[in-house]
Amino acid sequence: MVCAACKYQRRKCSPSCDLAPYFPADKPEIFYKAHRLFGVSNMVKMLKNIDDEHLKDEAMKSIIFESDMRARFPATGCLGVIHMYGGMLKKSVDELDHVRNLLAYCKQHNLSSAPSTSSHFSNTPIGANLNTSFMDSTKEAQLNGDNGGVDPQGKP
C-alpha cells in the first residue's frame, strides 16, 4: 500500500518509507496539511536528522498537530491554542486560589468560634461546608448583626 506522501509524489512506497507510519493513504488530508506548512522534503530531512526513534515519533506528532492547528486557525495557528489553554489554566489557578482562601477562612472561622467542633469539621465534606453551612452561617451572622451568640475568641 502506498502512503499518502509517496502517492502525492507519484513514487513507490517502500517498507522503509519514513513517512508511511504517519500519513496513511486513507487519510490524505493529514499529509496535505503537513505538506502545505512544512513541505515534504523538509519533513524527510528532519526525520533523517533525528536518530532516536521515539523523538522521530514526537517530531512527526508535533508537525501533524501544528499543521492541523494552522489549517483550523489560519491566523493564529498553534499560538492561538497555546494562549487559549494559558487563559484556561490561569482561570483555574485563580479559582483554586479562591477556594483555598475560602477553605482557610472557613477552617479559621470554625476553630475560633467553636473549638470543640474541630473533629466535626474534619468529618464534614468540604463542599457541603463551603456551599451550605459556611455560607448560611455567614449570611445569618451578617443579617442578624451578630455571630449567633458564639464568642468569636473561643473559650479555652
Q: Which stretch in 18-26, 43-51, 94-102, 146-154 sits in contact with Zn ion by CB under 5 A?
A: 18-26
Give me 103's grid cell: 477553605
Out of 9, 13, 83, 102, the residue judged to bind Zn ion by CB under 5 A: 13
- The answer to the question of residue 4 lying near Zn ion (CB under 5 A) is no
Nearer to Zn ion, 6 or 106 (CB): 6
User: Least separation, in Å, of the C-beta of 58 and Zn ion?
Assistant: 20
- Contact between 20 and Zn ion per CB under 5 A: yes
Q: In this structure, which long-range contacts are made by residues 97-100, counting pairs with CB atoms below 8 Å and at least 24 apart in sequence?
A: 99/130
Number of residues written out for the chain: 156
Residue 3 contacts Zn ion per CB under 5 A: yes
State the cell numbers at 76: 493564529
Cell reading at 64: 501533524
| Interface residue list for Zn ion (CB under 5 A) | 3, 6, 13, 17, 20
